[in-house]
Structure 1
Amino acid sequence: MTFTEKTRIGTIYKNEAARGIIMRRIPALHTAAPHIASLFKSLSLDQYYQFNQEELSQSNWIAETLSELADIPYEGLSGEQEPETIPSADYEPAGVPSASAVVQAPALAEQWGVYEVELKGPSHGNPFTEVSLHAEFSSGGKIVRMGGFYDGDGIYRIRFMPDIQGDWKFRTSSNARSLDGIEGVFRSVEPSPGNHGPLRVKDIFHFAYADGTSYIPVGTTCYAWTHQGDDLEEQTLETLKASPFNKIRMCVFPKSYLFNENEPVYDPFEGSLAEGWDYTRPNPAFFEHLEKRIADLGRLGIEADLILFHPYDRWSYSEMPPAADDRYLRYITARLSAYRNVWWSLANEYDLMWSKEEGDWERIAKIIKENDPVDHLISNHNCLSFYDYSKPWVTHCSIQRIDVYKTSEATNEWREKWKKPIIIDECAYEGDIDQGWGNISGEEMTRRFWEGAVRGGYVGHGETYLNTDEILWWSKGGKLTGTSPERIAFLRRITEESPGGVLNPLPSDWDVPCAGIKDDYYLYYFGFNQPRFRKFNRKPGILYQVEVIDTWMMSIEKLPGTYEGSFQIELPGKAYMAVRLIKVDTKHV
């Protein structure tokens, strides 16, 4: 094979023989900020030229670059593969008694809670790679196999989420003799108030908890909030507590990007940026802090939409070799899959991750699915091109709009295409920074939420207002200062009041979308249009209560009397209005 115009710049850069050529052809690879260099690497040669042709001022730039690369062997992304570490049966001497490790395991666990078995075992060598640990949990005829993990200082843990009440028993298996064959019993009891279990897809396009309680995702984005230190993180939690948001997108790894250049408090692996990371040795303090914050969110009723990989990275976690990726995935699923409020997002902007191809994402999804018996919600998030959400493992569509202007207006189309819940996790952010994705108004953010809702989808929030401390909510958390959150709360209330607690699109007029249930309930949204009146044509003989809703002022005007058949409703002639028609029960009129 040879390099072509479709070859990613990162692939060329990785090739030592080609690196000097591509750095000379693209000097910014050497001088740009890390997040910009990462974006460059994600582009193919023709994409880079398309975005920078005016600056390059060379119509034959691609041809000249390929000519210089012509004699260099194409190595792709494979390179030299790291050999797999196979735990040895003689990790502990034969004289060590089986099942001799000290065990702590509680006698009770609530249904859908985190049940943890703690074992004190060996610590020589590298227990992260040299010790294999699992347990089988069983109740009646149900058997669940869970992976364990090493937590440092000779401590091993196995976490499990019992999904049924009653008596359970477990038995461990390990290549370490002291950890092998340990047995125990416990009882799973009634869940505590607020514990409704993990989320599931309901009725194709919506969600409900395991106990059947309806869930309306009202999300926000706070990518790097868990890397900011306790003071700011506690402030973020207090802000969330008073907000309408019940879902938060957040990264496992720290982020390096605009307005986010500080070092994290903890590193995910042993080592350093200067000397390199030991990907065979996760840092337990890093993951303990992460799970603490996930538990904090759980107590607030907030789902943690956990982003496993992202491209905005000066630490090279986005470019780990496949074997390191796989170890990390098995480790994090062992640690976190017992938490009921976890979602898996394979990546933020998967298509900017130059070192991963389609097969890598399918392998990553397979590892998550194999090691997560809870079967948490899982998806992959895009930048320039959508992932194939028809894949059977994808539970919902995690979407970033790819049209600069058309965002949630396409929700109907996406519902029909993928037949799965539509979550527009990035519709742009309310703020005032220089980037087009981060300077829409509160009015426009609210409009996009409403537009998506009446089309049967769910839109996500984010905030990027400039401040002297460069603490922007979308990345670091802190405080919300925008005008959309309280209006989003109002929309959440409207949705919860709808029949079944959800909105599904109805056939609509050409100029106004509508959601509801035919003949029973209609919610029309006029968006940025500003009519002075609207004529409605409904089936004769059905009476409706009519409400005029100002989605910005958060007011509901209930009109006197009832309406049927063809009728006209007067409107204030301003934007962001909605009209709700509710069928009247004539038995009680």
Structure 2
Amino acid sequence: MKKSFLFGISVLFSLSFGLIAQEKIERWNRVELSFQTIFKGNGFQDVEFKAIFVHQDTTLTVSGFYDGDNHFKLRFMPTRLGTWKYSTQSNVPGLAKKTGTVQCIAPSTKNHGIVGTNGSLHFSYADGKVYYPFGTTAYAWNHMGAELQQLTLNSLQKSGFNKIRMCVFPKNYDLVKEEPSLYPFVLQETKRDAQGNEVKIWDYTQFNPAFFQQLEKQIDALQNMGIEADLILFHPYDKGRWGFDAMPKEVNIRYIQYLLARISSFRNVWWSMANEWDYVKSKTIADWDELTKTVVKADPYRHLCSIHGATASYYDYWKPEFSHVSVQDESPVQSPNSAAMLRNVYHKPIVLDEVGYEGNLTSRWGRYSPETMTHLIWNGVVGGTYVTHGESYMFKDHRDTIFWAKGGKFNGESWKRVGFLKQILEEGPGPMSLSDVSRDNVTSSGGKGHYLVYFGKQIQDYWMFNLPINNGAFGKLTAGTRFKVDIIDTYGMTIQTLPEIFETEKERDYRFFDKDYKKIRLPEKPYLALRIREIR
């Protein structure tokens, strides 16, 4: 037995003929068991291979996969501390009845586990730490050349983003025409159609392990930076070029099962069933339901799962397979109230994964100013939801490196402001929600005695200190409470602490004012916010 360490993840190898010794692994890290054996038939289809991991009263069944060259692997993420015992099952003698133990030890400082919801309207890591999804979009970055991929990682490292939306399959779109170097299936032959266009014929019974190994490498690189990989499993941006958007149902199911066998043990993955699912004409809603259930069944760790539609196209997000809502719609972030309304409808965390992009494209969805992009993200957060960033600047033609499509470097300005907002939230007591929902569209709270008041595009010279008596789930405000106030320039990224102390007096028509009716002098500019914190 030999072991190696990649990206801080323990990888365990064993031969098919030896005893497997105990390996120590951090909680939520990944153990990999590797076997080399002779078999008959197609390793991707004909070999059944899994392991049962048992820890006291917890049992997890983990599917193995064929990695080519007579190598089979099992990957496991321990979710509880202590000793896990396992045994393998297979229709191949060289893979059956292998037993061993894994000793799960305490995680390191930066390892907080997988992200979940715990049935709430927000997200948290498995260890309870609050997770605020401040993500960006780079659909096809993993299908670009190695140099551009590294540039993308370097940009993300400096950005403050902690999530990225990315496609598993390559993308064929007006602004993304590059041919990938790797494909998920083995190429069977190349033909010409009636118009003389090259058509690739795939052997859908043979996966290409190199394609998935490349994906895994980049997911690990993202994890090393604390970034969640929101993986888009299907999309419509193919249009016959490769045919991955219109594969037979049985191939779609095998693809899901193979992909999840390989990467469900990666703690930083989310499942996005599709981007703009309603544009994938080869699949019905019944198909999407079946594929979603296939994902959930194949994932022993129950990573986050949702589905994304075209503009204002909402799926039935009440279904139990969906952990959160992922939508493309700018309407809910025109005000915090509208964003909050989605939470009240679905009772699940809301991620507005596409409200438009900062850029200079002719398409209306790709020409937001950086101020507008930042403003919409603030509206979403104040309303208790989350908004995904995107950037789409083109300076020459489709060969430009447009981050939204290909990654690369950021050319805009809103990405810096997203990091600033993320820092403000992480310094607070918890996730935001409107204090007096449907009655007050500017005041949000992250906990007792903690408020953000966001003025958006409104410009005013003074603001009279006032807060609603209601504070959501945190109880009602009372008279005699003292506060300090910070003026936040959300676009200029500055915070000014005021010297005054404000104190609430007797409640007047569901609101509290300062006992002396103090006003705050504001800079006469848009996109200002106030952070109001109780002095105890």
TM over 0.5: yes
Q: 1:154 aligns with which of 58, 66, 70?
A: 70
2:302 aligned residue (375, 392, 395): 375
The one of 336, 346, 353 aligned to 1:418: 346
**Greater fraction strand:** 2
Matched, 1:270 2:186: yes
Work out whether 1:532 is the aligned partner of 2:461: yes
Report the Cα distance in structure 1 between the residues aligned to 2:270 and 2:92, rounded to whole angstroms. 32
Cα pair 2:185 2:207 within 8 Å, conserved:
yes
Evaluate the alpha carbon distance shift between residue 434 and residue 155 of structure 1 in structure 2; reply closer, same or farther with a 3 A threshold: same
Equivalent position SS for 2:395: coil
Q: Say whether the 8 Å CA contact 1:102–1:120 is kept in structure 2.
A: no
CA offset digits 1:44-79 (Å, max 9, x no partner):
xxxxxxxxxxxxxxxxxxxxxxxxxxxxxxxxxxxx
CA contact (8 A) 1:401 1:426 kept: yes
Supply the distance in 1 between the matched residues of 2:39 and 2:83 (Cα, whole angstroms): 32
- Corresponding residue for 2:263? 336
Mapped pair 1:108 → 2:24:
yes
- Partner-residue secondary structure (3-state), 1:552: coil
Write the letter of the residue equivalent to 2:358: E
Specify the code of the residue in structure 2 equivalent to 1:266: L
1:572 correspondence with 2:523: yes
| 1:430 and 2:358 correspond | yes
- The structural deviation recorded for 1:180 is 1.4
Q: Secondary structure at the match of 2:165?
A: strand
Q: Is the 8 A contact 2:360 2:366 kept in 1?
A: yes
The range that moved more, 441-450 or 538-547, is: 538-547
Are residue 302 (structure 1) and residue 227 (structure 2) matched? yes
Aligned to 2:387: 459
Distance 2:501 2:174 in 1: 54
Secondary structure of the structure 1 residue equivalent to 2:217: helix
Gap regions ≥5 residues in structure 2: 1-14, 191-198, 468-477, 505-512
Residue identity opposite 1:299 in structure 2: N
**Contact kept? 2:449, 2:534, Cα under 8 Å:** yes
Q: Deviations over 1:249-277 (max 9, x none)?
A: 00000001122101011011011563411
Which residues in structure 2 correspond to 1:288-299 (within 5 Å)? 288-299=213-224
C-alpha deviation, 1:142, in angstroms? 2.0
Partner Cα distance (1:415, 1:191) in 2: 33
Shift of 1:407: 7.6
Q: 1:187-266 maps to which residues of 2 (within 5 A)? A: 187-202=103-118, 204-266=120-182
1:401/1:413 CA distance change after superposition, 3 Å: same
Q: Which has the larger radius of gyration?
A: 1
Which segments of structure 1 move beyond 4 Å, counting only runs of 4 or more? 99-106, 402-409, 508-512
Which stretch of structure 1 is more off in the superposition, 551-560 or 426-435? 551-560
For 1:117, what is the secondary structure of its paired residue? strand
Quick check: 1:552 aligned with 2:491? yes
The answer (yes or no) to whether the contact 2:113–2:125 under 8 Å persists in 1 is yes
**Are the equivalent residues in 2 in contact too, given 1:512–1:526 (CA < 8 A)?**
no
| TM-score with structure 1 setting the length | 0.79
1:531-569 CA distance string (max 9 Å, x none): 121223345422211221111111112112211233322
**Which residue does 2:405 correspond to in 1?**
475
Distance 2:17 2:448 in 1: 66
Does 410-419 or 505-514 show the bigger shift?
505-514
- Superposition deviation, residue 237 in structure 1: 0.6
Letter in 1 for 2:530: V
Aligned-residue Cα RMSD (Å) equals 2.0
Q: Secondary structure at the match of 2:424?
A: helix
3-state secondary structure, aligned to 1:112: coil
Q: Is the 8 A contact 1:526 1:578 kept in 2?
A: yes
In the alignment, which of 265, 282, 287 is matched to residue 207 of structure 2?
282
Contact kept, 8 Å, 2:337 with 2:437, in 1: the verdict is no
Asked if 1:320 corresponds to 2:247, the answer is: yes
**In the TM superposition, what is the alpha-carbon distance from 1:110 to its structure 2 partner?**
1.7
Asked if the contact 1:345/1:379 (under 8 Å) is kept, the reply is yes
| CA offsets 1:294-352 (integer angstroms, 9 cap, x no match) | 01100100000000000001211110010000000100010000000010000001111
Q: How many residues align?
A: 486
> Greater CA deviation, 305-314 or 186-195?
186-195
Cα distance, 1:203 vs structure 2:
6.2
Does residue 489 of the first structure (1) align with residue 419 of the second (2)? Answer: yes
Quick one: which of 513, 519, 525 aligns to 2:442?
513
Q: Which amino acid aligns with 1:344?
A: W
The Cα of 1:202 is off from its aligned counterpart by 4.2
Matched-pair contact (CA < 8 Å) for 1:204–1:421:
yes
C-alpha distance in 1, partners of 2:346/2:524? 37
Q: Aligned match of 2:322 in 372, 388, 394?
A: 394
> 1:146-203, CA deviations, whole angstroms, 9 ceiling, x for partnerless residues?
1110000000001110111222221111111221112122312222331111111146
The corresponding residue for 1:59 is: none
Three-state SS of the structure 2 residue aligned to 1:569 is strand
Percent identical = 42
Contact 2:19-2:100 at 8 Å conserved across structures? no
CA distance in 2, matches of 1:105, 1:241: 37
**Which among 425, 429, 440 is matched to residue 368 of structure 2?**
440
Q: Deviations over 1:86-110 (max 9, x none)?
A: xxxxxxxxxxxxx965687772222
Distance 1:230 1:276 in 2: 26
State the secondary structure of the residue aligned to 1:186: strand
Tell me, in whole angstroms, the C-alpha distance in 2 between the residues paired with 1:517 and 1:407.
18
Distance 1:125 1:299, change over 3 A: same
Distance change (3 Å), C-alpha of 1:203 and 1:404: closer
DSSP-derived class of the 2:103 partner:
strand
Cross-structure match for 2:35: 119
Q: Return the letter of the residue paired with 1:129.
A: Q
CA deviations over 1:201-251 (Å, ceiling 9, x no partner): 146111111111111111000101110121111111111111110000000
